[in-house]
Amino acid sequence: MIKITINRERCKGCSLCIPFCPKGLLKPSESLNSSGYHPVEVVRPDECTGCAACAKMCPDLAIKIIKEE
Ligand code: SF4
Ligand code: SF4
């Protein structure tokens, strides 16, 4: 089982990760974090393959992929 987590407070809303998701699952959320940024969110987490392309691109290490047996 794949679980993707995005740390809303770490994310600065730069959108760098968005085009790297081959399934188009990332988009800026409508709400703001405490720094005033729109952190990204996963629109259909059940479709995430855990490829980690997004996590590798994030300069702020805001995205984590957890693979559970
Ligand atoms: S791990 Fe891969 S499939 Fe999942 S959101 Fe990131 S880029 Fe998309
Ligand atoms: S690359 Fe990182 S900081 Fe930039 S929008 Fe994506 S998760 Fe947020």
d(CA 42, CA 50): 12
Distance from Cα 39 to the centre of ligand 1, integer Å: 15
Distance from Cα 69 to the centre of ligand 2, integer Å: 27
Nearest CA to ligand 2 atom 2: 58
Distance from Cα 68 to the centre of ligand 2, integer Å: 24
pLDDT exceeds 90 at position 26:
yes
Atom of ligand 2 nearest to the CA of 10: 3
Q: What is the pTM of this model?
A: 0.94
For the residues 34-44, what does the mean pLDDT come to?
97
